[in-house]
Amino acid sequence: MKVITEKTGKLKGVKVLLRLDLNVPIAEGVVTDNFKVEAVITTINFLKKEGAKVIIISHIGRDPLNSLFSVYEYLRKFFEVTFIKDIFSNESTEVISGMQAGDIVMFENLRSFSGEKENESSFTSKLASFGDIYVNDAFAVSHREHGSIIGLPKIMESYFGLLFVKEVNELKAVSKVSSPKLFVLGGNKLGTKIPFIQKFLKVADKIFVGGALANDIFKAKGFEVGTSLISEKSFDLRELLDNKKIILPIDVVVDSPRGVFVKKSNQVLEDERIVDAGQETVSMIEDLVDCSKFILWNGPLGDYPKGFSDGTFGLIRALASSKGESIVGGGDTEHCISNLGLEENFDFISTGGGAMLEFVANGTLVGIEAIESKN
């Protein structure tokens, strides 16, 4: 990989467009989970020490009106940084032109512009004009064909950041780990994860499918899922229904007008909503973990923001005490682990969720190809 450290001793005064993933949870103007932010400090410190003029670009949330200002305030704990709200303004041009070696500037949310998600050449060209070289240290969003991920490398000298290289090296090792291998997939968005499940069937010994992902499979099996979250689209799930490697929850926690109950997965009523994995399922997962030499996990097993976290926390504790190697990823996943203070019990926690799964499944990402295809 073309790593920014190759430019050691040659970066003084060079304007570096540094793409980071600073899409972190914020409550009442305060960053509530600093995992992603602190993960990129090493790259920023390297560039600052080398005397580069660092221009941080990132996004936050899905709403174009969301602001990175709270993240900027958090970064000020580590170094001086100037925040630019209006990226393509005269003020912005003046600030950039006045930067000295080691200065750091941070731009407002890139997704404020439609050109970012649509990878418009006019947008990326204007963005590129601020920098001399481009560095991608945003592994977690490098599976997306956005302007700051695949557009900038086409028109700029480009490198990978230190976090990005660490992510790739850790996840490359997944193909070399010993069996039995257990993959645990939770969360939602079954449509995006079906291709991964199909590929993982070739390398995993067991795949536990939980969270809202399991609801679609329950429905395909003819089970009642009531008001549970399911995909808007229908999918051909026959390959998953018949495969003995696929394991589903035995029991589930349901929320209903009558209260919260634990039921067998095939006993849900029309007015009930599946919100978590039951204790029998957690016990089963504990047994699966105990028998595995390697576990890959992405996505919670329940609606933890609403308090249904027992299944997810049970899985975390099982993995934390496991003798097997564990790699996990995804913002929700990491947030749950940090809530229990068990980060040190995992071999590697990726900043990416979908990006982690895609890299493990395919061995590359569009953000990687955008840089490596030029070399």
Mark whether 105 and 191 lie in a shared domain: no
User: Does 23 reside within a domain?
Assistant: yes
Over residues 14-44, the pLDDT tens digits come to 999 999 999 999 999 999 999 999 999 999 9
Q: Which residue has the higher pLDDT, 69 or 193?
A: 69
For residue 195, the model assigns a pLDDT of 87
Mark whether 294 and 230 lie in a shared domain: yes
User: Does 353 reside within a domain?
Assistant: no
For residue 267, the model assigns a pLDDT of 97
SS3 273: strand
User: Does 350 reside within a domain?
Assistant: no
For residue 235, the model assigns a pLDDT of 82
Mark whether 145 and 222 lie in a shared domain: no
User: Does 170 reside within a domain?
Assistant: no
Mark whether 336 and 192 lie in a shared domain: yes
Q: Does residue 262 register a pLDDT over 90?
A: yes
SS3 107: strand
User: Does 359 reside within a domain?
Assistant: no
Cα 114 to Cα 22, 63, 147, distances in angstroms? 19, 11, 10
SS3 264: strand
Mark whether 313 and 202 lie in a shared domain: yes
Mark whether 154 and 196 lie in a shared domain: no
Mark whether 153 and 236 lie in a shared domain: no
Q: Does residue 145 register a pLDDT over 70?
A: yes
Judged by average pLDDT, the poorest of 192-206, 289-303, 352-366 is: 192-206
Q: Which residue has the higher pLDDT, 113 or 190?
A: 113
Over residues 321-373, the pLDDT tens digits come to 999 999 999 989 999 999 999 999 999 999 999 999 999 999 999 999 999 98
Mark whether 47 and 186 lie in a shared domain: no
Mark whether 27 and 142 lie in a shared domain: yes
User: Does 97 reside within a domain?
Assistant: yes
For residue 374, the model assigns a pLDDT of 74
Percent of the chain past pLDDT 90, that is, above it, reads: 91
Cα 207 to Cα 60, 230, 255, distances in angstroms? 31, 19, 26
Judged by average pLDDT, the poorest of 107-111, 237-241, 245-249 is: 237-241
Mark whether 139 and 19 lie in a shared domain: yes
Question: Residue 30's domain is classified under what CATH number?
Answer: 3.40.50.1260
CA pair distance 107, 103, nearest whole angstrom: 13
Q: Considering its fold, how many domains does the chain have in total?
A: 2
Q: 269 pLDDT band (50/70/90 cuts)?
A: very high
Residue 326: give the domain boundaries: 177-341
Mark whether 28 and 55 lie in a shared domain: yes
Mark whether 205 and 148 lie in a shared domain: no
User: Does 172 reside within a domain?
Assistant: no
Query: E-assigned strands of 243-357?
Result: 246-247, 251-256, 259-264, 273-277, 294-298, 325-329, 348-350
Name the nearest CA neighbour of 192 among 314, 330, 327.
330
Instruction: Return mean pLDDT, the chain.
Output: 95
For residue 109, the model assigns a pLDDT of 98
Over residues 155-198, the pLDDT tens digits come to 999 999 999 999 999 999 898 898 999 999 998 888 888 889 98
Name the nearest CA neighbour of 68 among 77, 80, 78, 59.
59
Whether the CB-CB separation of 131 and 11 falls below 8 Å is answered with: no
User: Does 360 reside within a domain?
Assistant: no
